[in-house]
Structure 1
Amino acid sequence: MTEGGAGARLFGLPPGADFPAAFVDGLLARMRETPPEALARVTVYLNSARMLAAVRGAFDARGPRLLPRLRLVTDLAGDPLVAVPPAVPPLRRRLELARLVGELVARERTFAPGTPVFDLADSLATLLAEMQGEGVAPDAFEAANLAENHAAHWERSLAVIRIVARYFAADAEPDAEARQRRVVEAMAGRWARTAPADPVIVAGSTGSRGATQVLIRAVASLPNGAVVLPGFDFDMPDFAWTSLSAGPIPNEDHPQYRFFALARSLGLGADAVQRWIDTPAPDPARNRIISLSLRPAPVTDQWMAEGGTLGQLAAPTARLTLIEAPTPRAEALAIALRLRKAAEGGKRAHLVTPDRILARRVTAALDRWGILPDDSAGRPLVQSAPGRLLRHVAQLFGRRVSAEALIVLLKHPLAATGGKDRGPHLRFTRELELSLRRHGPAFPTQDRLEAWAGATAEADRMAWVRWIGASLAGVEEAGERPLAACVETHLALSGSLAAGPFGSVEGSELWRKEAGQLALTTMEGLRREAAHGARFSPAGYADLVTALLSAANVRQTATAHPLIAIRGTLEARVGGADVTILAGLNEGVWPAAPAPDPWLSRQMRLKAGLLLPERQIGLSAHDYQQAAGAADVVLSRAARDDDAETVPSRWLARLTNLIAGLPEQGGPEALEAMRRRGREWLDLAAALERPRAAVPPAARPAPRPPLDARPRELAVTGISTLIRDPYAIYARHILRLFPLDPLSGRPDARLRGKILHDIVERFVRGRPVVETPAEAEARLLALSDEILKAKVPWPSARRIWRTRIARIAPAFVAAEAIRAARGMPMVVEEMGAVLVENSGFTLTARPDRIDALADGRVHIYDYKSGSPPSPKQQRSFDKQLFLEAAMAERGAFRVIGPCRVEGASYIQLGGEGREAAVEINPESLGETWQSLARLIAAFDRRETGYTSRRAMFGAYSAGDYDHLARFGEWEMASPSSPEDVG
């Protein structure tokens, strides 16, 4: 293990190398002259569990032998043999920090407004872990050069850091990161006194974390120690290494900076890093190109000087493909096709990306061929069935249970799974949903649910409703409570919903399978540590649960394809793939945008010795360089995302600029070849999306049903629809298709109009014989309060609408007094009907109000919450008042009989509350009735079709049946396509 002489205990493997295989080969070569048992005395510390498994697999592939002791660097935090107290559970520390942050936010209302307290506690916990890992004590922030000249925001941050200084005391219970560093420092101290006789190796780690770097330095200083670095760039010249420390701020965003800093901390130069094994990289020439493209900014001018030494670029880029997709979907499909091609050829392919959305898109695309990739990240617990149920339940507390929230819970696949038969639950849920959609209410109470159940004689239905009530009892009244109480009620409600009315939570599916077990572990951990948390509001507790569920991932249990895998960028250094796809190479994705730090400024971090945002970018750059050196590489990005142009990753931009700027080496041609190979996959993806047969767009429908199927009765509002959109009459009255009301009730214009009609109707019906304007206005507002309270469950909408009614109340009352002096309401929301002569067609109407005047004539009123139609619209389309007047003269309304119509008016119940008169005379009524007869006669002919959107008020006016008519495949100017149906 001392090969290479003094100072040669740092070794490296080039980017793209199969690190596990090369590491094992190098170790076996060094142990070749030792007895077999000597290998068993070697201790190897590896950076990740996947690396450890890959190294063990590499040993297995080389025949039976004794294995070295393979350990993880992170396992040192749990080493029981070191005299350091056990680490505090991370959740306990975060709950303690959440309490402290909550107190800060309560005192300082301007500090991070709108940010959930637990999110701030998470960021503070991350800062504390970083300080502990880097060995930065809170005292470092008390230095004058840090505390001076900083904004009040940072002064508050320093106050918080002083509060949490208790966690840095010698007798404090350590966090996992603090214990890791203490254990490593204890080991390093022991080794400094007495070096271990057996070899110790650290492999696969870049030393990016403070405690790991301490371990690496300690191992590198041992006589029998060795550090094997992944992706070390042996092609960088000395001046490039030196430039990494040039300037006041080091170039930490360079992929090799961590190695440079490690060597410098040991008093060595980068040239001291030796090759662990002579096996070359998969493509050394390509590694030189990528190395040159990633040169630090101070020496980027060497591109032109050193570019000529790269030789012809066609060969090094021959196995390099560049996919520049127009959209993320096209990128995902192209990647899926490349992965499928690899699987068909028996090649191992890895998709490496930090973009989890892209990874899920690729997984969905592969599903069409039955390929399930081995996704190392798994699926977030919050997106699993148990996670969704727990999240939905957590969001119930402290608010009224809406119809939408109730149905979401009842239709959840884990609801009522504790009994033997789930069928009745599903049937009751479907029927309740239809009832709530049709009749409401928006916030169903237990009394309303029991009234719905009591409409039938099913005992099980009533028991089911009472189970709902018992489960949700006290949800609305839940306020700020201790965390332990929040957890208990949350678990009790979740268990009750999962059990069902006739089952048990133990028999349900809630805590089963991997997702359920992980959810139970997460919630039990929260219950166990709840005593260390503060009091939580319902919204704060929901945020806490969502954060915990989002942090956990469920590994897939189905058998994954043995050749296709999706890996995170950190796992790219494991290597071992024949085809490596680097996807999501856009700025903000890879590299990711630095997370905002609510506690410390960049300058404070630099002076205190903490990690700068460039550190994370440098680590991402190293992951990119390591993966880009593989044998067959695909570089992929989407040019647009969410209707906005994206910016190529800085590393991809550097690579393409370098290659394109070397015409003498065939760079432009090589780059075009890379893009051409990418376009081939994009063309295949486009062909995959293209239908096999061209499907022409649908024509504008004009169905012609048989005459005996056509409606023989319509309301006056239906006549307007028949004129504007005959297809809606066909769909509703012939096909009997009715729009499904939204489940989530909302205070929209339709409800507002209904409420205003109810208020005015009751106001008119209850008018006393004698009433002053002040009394009338008070009665109107009292009725408004009563009806709004009973029928509008949204407090904000009630207040807004009440204000609008109060604004128009004086004008409305004054106008109503004039109307009362002219006549008396005789018809108020009462149905009337009349037969259209010589047609067998009945016209119906329910006028808002018809007043009988002193001269025996009548006046018709119609209430409008919006603007009334214009005179032109009334003459051609919206003939409601004209038709009602014609019906009144023909005796359609029993109370008043046949009578002359003096006039009609629209009463605006919004805006200024004005009254718009409609001129009624025998000529206009005669023309209206004749046009109605012609309209009815036209639709009594088989050749007349029900054309869709015949004369809509606006081209973009939405209709209830536009989707059925395939509007969008045809335009308003498109001719109709009559077709006999039925």
Structure 2
Amino acid sequence: MRIFSIAPQTPFLPCLVEAVMDGRLLDDWDRTGPFWLSDVTIILPTHRAKDALADAFAAHPDFRGLLPDLRTFGGEVEDEEPFLPPFDMPAPAKPAGRLQRRLTLSELVAAWAGTVQGREAFSTPPTAAEIFSMAESLGTLIDDLLIEERSPADIRALGNEMAQELGDYWQQTLKFLDIALSAWPQWLTDRGLADPAALRRTRLDRQAEAAAFLFGDRPVIAAGSTGSIPATARLLATIAGLPRGAVVLPGLDMAMTPETHAALLDPLTNPHGHPQYGLAQLLRRFGAGVGQVVELCQVQHPRTQLVNLALAPTAETALWSSQRFDEPMLDAALAGVSIVRARNEDEEARAIALAGRNALENKQTVGIITPDGNLARRVAAELRRFDIVVDDAAGTPLFHAAAGRLARQVLNLVTGSCAPVDLLALLRNRAVTLGFERGALAALADDVDLGLLRGQRPGPGVAGLRAMLAAHLAGELKYPARKLSAERGVAIADLFDRLEAAIAPLQSATQLRELSAAGLALALGQAIAAISPEAPLPGREELATWVGDMQAVVGQGHLFAPRGLDGVLSALMAGVEVRTSVPEDRRLDIAIWGQLEARLMSPDVLILGALNEDKWPAAADPGPWLSRGMRLGAGLEPPERMQGLAAHDFAQAMGNKTIILAYADRVGASPALPSRLVQRLDAFAGAAAAEAMRLRGQGWVRAARQLDAVPAVMPAIRPMPNPPAAVRPRKLSVTEVETLMRSPYDLYAKHVLRLKPLDALGEDPDARERGTIVHAIFARFVDACDPAAPDAFARLMEIAAEEFSGLETIGERRDIWLKRFATAAEQFLDFERGRDARVFKRNAEVDGRWELRLAEPFAITGTADRVDLLNDGTLEILDFKTGSPPSKGAMTGFEAPQLPVEALMADNGGFKGMAPARTGALTYIKIGLGPDAFVPSSFALPEGLSVMDVAEAVSIRMQNQIDYFLMRDTPMPARLLPLKTQRFAGAYDHLARMAEWTAVDGEDEA
């Protein structure tokens, strides 16, 4: 039995080529003829490795043009199947598709979830998306059983063997698994299908049986496999026993002691997460020890020894103190190793991209390994800024690719009844044409946005959009942001017709009581074909293939109510990837590999990304169907086995001459730890060496931070426009008087530039709108009704029902507001009845205008909530507020001028229909449901001053500011007197770039 190993520090494929060309792996096979190399068979784990090996042979100086017979484990079904014994074996069953299995198992999961036992197993009934996801994880368990050659009987036995240890939940789960794992094979048999994992196992076993006949005494080499699949391990053992067979292992620790080897074979020591665990198990299957393995290329490097010691079994870490390297040896081992410690994933991706770009500039080959697809896409995006094309082995999940995003937008549009945000998101997607030229559609989208949707609330569906368009053309819309011509109206109507026709199949599907997965996919595919018939769209082919696959399984799968369809789509698209599309005239500059794809590859510079705990290695998750102990009890490998493979991949990669390890201190919004593999390396190497590796990587971090930085930060200055006095306003509302005091710039933007803030797209009714409606209700009541009347409450609620009827398109919100208003109505009536004895006449929503005696005519206008004439002949001005009244400090500091200015307006006869009168009280009334609702709050006056004294002081200050800022060519600064308690952005703060030059303390005023 001939077993070899290539150490991590040795480039695997070049070493393998050299060992074939010089005959070391051929056992005296004749190499004199011109075609001798074609008699050699080499079997490798992946197609990528096979292609790379062909390139390595072509680069060898003795290569003469004929390659060996290069194959992969499992082989090509069509090429090998007919030539494998037994030759009279009937044709194997066709493989069942992954999607087909997911849908079939979803029916079983859904049926179980509906039983009494299933309902007890879930805290809440599972959604359709959760059912499809659980079906996928159940399929993974079936694969595990097939790959590790266990049967449903092993699962069934758990219920008896572990009955005392398992709770009710696991007992119920095992009962379901017994049903599901029996029903699925029967389903396959009934249809003449088989699981792909079972077919692959059978094919590997047939290859092992045929090896002696196929190869005879010709050389056959199996290289690069760890034998983690039992059937593969059997094939490796068969090849190792052939006359000229050889197995070449990747990175076996040749210094492994018999004690360590024995510990890796003992499940009680929990060795599954160790990088050598898989190879130790493979040697046991061979019946061999480490001493029987030959190092193929004797290239000594201390780094491999260092990594093996750093990742030693837990029991052996006690020996570290005696095993640590001296400084020269440590420096030699870690030369060429850098660690990038980034603040977040974005910085990590940018640093990786810059390191890769630098290697390309130095004419070096570059490989990037990461198990994190999100990081891979970030790196690819960063490299695109340098026009570097990336070969991403994993690709982009279809759900997140451009075609998948378009599918989600279409789905959201339909399920959201053409809500404004969803509509504009779809129309602004560059892949959407609806039969228009793209520029024309973009112009129509602007018209729909500004002419129909801003500040409006269309009804549901395309019918609601048409009604909004008709109201606009008829002049019935209040204050549209853009006036549309009749010609543009015709074009928009055509757009709505096309959109309605495009989404009609999906609209019909989502209105069904129960929807199937295939029905959803087919309707979605039809909608996308109509919405985006020809525009370039990455992932279009994969989406079409997915729709075709779904069409082949019509009638299968769990039927579900059309709710939460975005999650359902994600679950149904799981496993479908969109590969990088590269123009024919471009080459792939940098490869991004997954851990499996990276095995055996040896670029000049190798970068390992996402070396964070729970990413590399991933968390040991046994899945929802079996606990870790149950997996072990059933004879399955525990989830830590995958961590062992990840550790082996890390150890292999560490053999590269130049390597960069990268991780982030924050992943998403949470703090993150470096991988345990990096922590082990740090701990063994020591603090000084760990710091030195990070210092070498710090250059890439600094470069990443500087990439988008500016050489010097020049703080923005407060904007102070200075338009001619003649164009400044000659009229202010009572609320704008405070704006003049606090931020003259806002008046410049509003009255000089004539900029009006756009309402947020699709904005729901909020507190401001509710407050406007409530003010209107109270005003109508005060003008027409007596609070003391027996039917006052009924009359108030009738008025409220009429005012809230404007919210008929969102009936649920209307009903809630109306119910809450009933409590406020009772409080309002109690408040008004308590004032009856001193109020002579109530005046609601009183319009006012006050002409000031300045150098030029100037007016103050406004509408007071209430101006009540009291029995003593004075006035009380009331301001009903849904928010909070001004702070005491603002009132005593003359910084809340609205009510004092209204008092001045009343004193000067400015209120319509009211004679001049002095004001004796200014009062705030909070509208709400809390204990402070409708409790009067008097305007805080400075000590010793009356209401009219304060009003006069405000008048002097107001007129001085009007004269200074509006009557002269004086700069109009922004946020001259900021309100510290303001918790929302002003209408023009973004225009003034306020965040760039100012900050306001957040404490409350006294």
TM-score by length of 2: 0.86
Q: What's the CA shift for 1:304?
A: 3.4
Q: What's the CA shift for 1:266?
A: 2.6
| 1:59 aligns to 2:76 (yes or no) | no
After the TM superposition, which of the residue ranges 804-813 and 827-836 deviates more from structure 2? Answer: 827-836
Q: What's the CA shift for 1:634?
A: 2.0
1:614 maps to a residue whose letter is E
Q: What's the CA shift for 1:623?
A: 0.6
| 1:464 aligns to 2:495 (yes or no) | yes
1:557 maps to a residue whose letter is S
Cα offsets for 1:203-247 (capped at 9, x unmatched)? 222222344334334433444543322222223233322221346
Cα offsets for 1:590-644 (capped at 9, x unmatched)? 1122235111011011111112121011000111011100122222333444575
Counting only pairs closer than 5 Å after superposition, residues 415-564 of structure 1 correspond to structure 2 as 415-416=432-433, 418-419=435-436, 421-436=437-452, 438-441=454-457, 445-454=461-470, 455=473, 456-458=485-487, 459-472=490-503, 474=507, 477-498=511-532, 505=533, 508-509=534-535, 515-549=539-573, 551-558=575-582, 563-564=589-590
Counting only pairs closer than 5 Å after superposition, residues 634-645 of structure 1 correspond to structure 2 as 634-641=660-667, 645=671
| 1:134 aligns to 2:163 (yes or no) | no
Residue equivalent to 2:431: 414
Residue equivalent to 1:880: 898
Conservation of the 8 A alpha-carbon contact between 1:236 and 1:291? no
Q: What's the CA shift for 1:97?
A: 1.1
Q: Hey, what's the Cα distance between the residues in 2 that align with 1:868 and 1:671?
A: 58
> Pick from 611, 616, 622: which aligns with 1:590?
616
Residue equivalent to 1:73: 73
> Pick from 746, 758, 764: which aligns with 1:740?
758
Counting only pairs closer than 5 Å after superposition, residues 253-652 of structure 1 correspond to structure 2 as 253-275=273-295, 277=296, 279-281=297-299, 284-307=301-324, 312-416=329-433, 418-419=435-436, 421-436=437-452, 438-441=454-457, 445-454=461-470, 455=473, 456-458=485-487, 459-472=490-503, 474=507, 477-498=511-532, 505=533, 508-509=534-535, 515-549=539-573, 551-558=575-582, 563-595=589-621, 597-641=623-667, 645-652=671-678
| 1:790 aligns to 2:806 (yes or no) | yes
Determine helix, strand or coil for the equivalent of 1:413. coil
> Pick from 692, 698, 717: which aligns with 1:679?
698
Q: Hey, what's the Cα distance between the residues in 1 that align with 2:112 and 2:750?
A: 60
Conservation of the 8 A alpha-carbon contact between 2:922 and 2:947? no
Residue equivalent to 1:863: 880
Determine helix, strand or coil for the equivalent of 1:635. strand
2:448 maps to a residue whose letter is L
After the TM superposition, which of the residue ranges 253-262 and 423-432 deviates more from structure 2? Answer: 423-432
Conservation of the 8 A alpha-carbon contact between 1:84 and 1:182? no
Q: Hey, what's the Cα distance between the residues in 2 that align with 1:212 and 1:715?
A: 83
Conservation of the 8 A alpha-carbon contact between 1:352 and 1:580? yes
Q: What's the CA shift for 1:405?
A: 1.1
Q: Hey, what's the Cα distance between the residues in 2 that align with 1:214 and 1:747?
A: 68
Q: What's the CA shift for 1:489?
A: 2.7
> Pick from 213, 218, 228: which aligns with 2:248?
228
Q: Hey, what's the Cα distance between the residues in 1 that align with 2:327 and 2:950?
A: 90
Q: What's the CA shift for 1:471?
A: 4.1
Cα offsets for 1:517-537 (capped at 9, x unmatched)? 111111221222232112122
Residue equivalent to 1:19: 12
> Pick from 185, 192, 200: which aligns with 2:205?
185
Residue equivalent to 1:664: none
Conservation of the 8 A alpha-carbon contact between 2:632 and 2:638? yes
Q: Hey, what's the Cα distance between the residues in 1 that align with 2:668 and 2:588?
A: 34
Q: Hey, what's the Cα distance between the residues in 2 that align with 1:760 and 1:213?
A: 83
1:679 maps to a residue whose letter is Q
Q: Hey, what's the Cα distance between the residues in 2 that align with 1:963 and 1:398?
A: 33
Q: Hey, what's the Cα distance between the residues in 2 that align with 1:167 and 1:226?
A: 39
Q: What's the CA shift for 1:937?
A: 2.0
1:633 maps to a residue whose letter is I
Conservation of the 8 A alpha-carbon contact between 1:323 and 1:679? yes
Cα offsets for 1:689-732 (capped at 9, x unmatched)? 5423x232123344443322322111111112222233322222
| 1:929 aligns to 2:949 (yes or no) | no
After the TM superposition, which of the residue ranges 809-818 and 155-164 deviates more from structure 2? Answer: 809-818
> Pick from 45, 55, 58: which aligns with 2:43?
45
Per the alignment, do residues 422 and 646 of structure 1 end up closer, same or farther by CA in structure 2, a change over 3 Å counting? closer
After the TM superposition, which of the residue ranges 853-862 and 362-371 deviates more from structure 2? Answer: 853-862
Determine helix, strand or coil for the equivalent of 2:909. coil
> Pick from 940, 948, 957: which aligns with 2:975?
948
Per the alignment, do residues 796 and 37 of structure 1 end up closer, same or farther by CA in structure 2, a change over 3 Å counting? farther
2:143 maps to a residue whose letter is A
Per the alignment, do residues 485 and 383 of structure 1 end up closer, same or farther by CA in structure 2, a change over 3 Å counting? closer
Per the alignment, do residues 915 and 438 of structure 1 end up closer, same or farther by CA in structure 2, a change over 3 Å counting? farther
Q: Percent sequence identity over matched residues? A: 34
Per the alignment, do residues 763 and 18 of structure 1 end up closer, same or farther by CA in structure 2, a change over 3 Å counting? farther
Cα offsets for 1:163-193 (capped at 9, x unmatched)? 2223345946321112212333344456689
Conservation of the 8 A alpha-carbon contact between 2:843 and 2:867? yes
Per the alignment, do residues 789 and 224 of structure 1 end up closer, same or farther by CA in structure 2, a change over 3 Å counting? farther
> Pick from 90, 103, 122: which aligns with 2:136?
122
Q: What's the CA shift for 1:121?
A: 1.2
Q: What's the CA shift for 1:316?
A: 2.6
Conservation of the 8 A alpha-carbon contact between 1:259 and 1:270? no
Q: What's the CA shift for 1:890?
A: 2.9
Q: What's the CA shift for 1:516?
A: 0.8
Residue equivalent to 2:172: 156
Q: What's the CA shift for 1:259?
A: 0.9
Conservation of the 8 A alpha-carbon contact between 1:584 and 1:636? yes
1:73 maps to a residue whose letter is F
TM-score by length of 1: 0.88
* Number of residue pairs aligned between Structure 1 and Structure 2: 943
Q: Hey, what's the Cα distance between the residues in 1 that align with 2:219 and 2:538?
A: 40
CA RMSD of aligned residues (A): 3.3
Q: Hey, what's the Cα distance between the residues in 2 that align with 1:446 and 1:820?
A: 52
Determine helix, strand or coil for the equivalent of 1:136. coil
Conservation of the 8 A alpha-carbon contact between 1:438 and 1:741? yes
Q: Hey, what's the Cα distance between the residues in 1 that align with 2:637 and 2:673?
A: 26
Determine helix, strand or coil for the equivalent of 1:790. helix
Per the alignment, do residues 290 and 599 of structure 1 end up closer, same or farther by CA in structure 2, a change over 3 Å counting? same
Conservation of the 8 A alpha-carbon contact between 1:453 and 1:465? no
Residue equivalent to 1:807: 823
Conservation of the 8 A alpha-carbon contact between 2:367 and 2:605? yes
Q: What's the CA shift for 1:140?
A: 0.6
Q: Hey, what's the Cα distance between the residues in 1 that align with 2:463 and 2:659?
A: 65
> Pick from 105, 111, 114: which aligns with 1:103?
111
Q: Which runs of 5+ in 2 are unaligned?
A: 83-88, 474-484, 940-945, 1002-1006
Q: What's the CA shift for 1:564?
A: 2.7
Determine helix, strand or coil for the equivalent of 2:227. coil
Residue equivalent to 2:482: none
Conservation of the 8 A alpha-carbon contact between 1:472 and 1:493? yes
Q: What's the CA shift for 1:291?
A: 1.6
Conservation of the 8 A alpha-carbon contact between 1:394 and 1:545? no
Q: What's the CA shift for 1:753?
A: 1.7
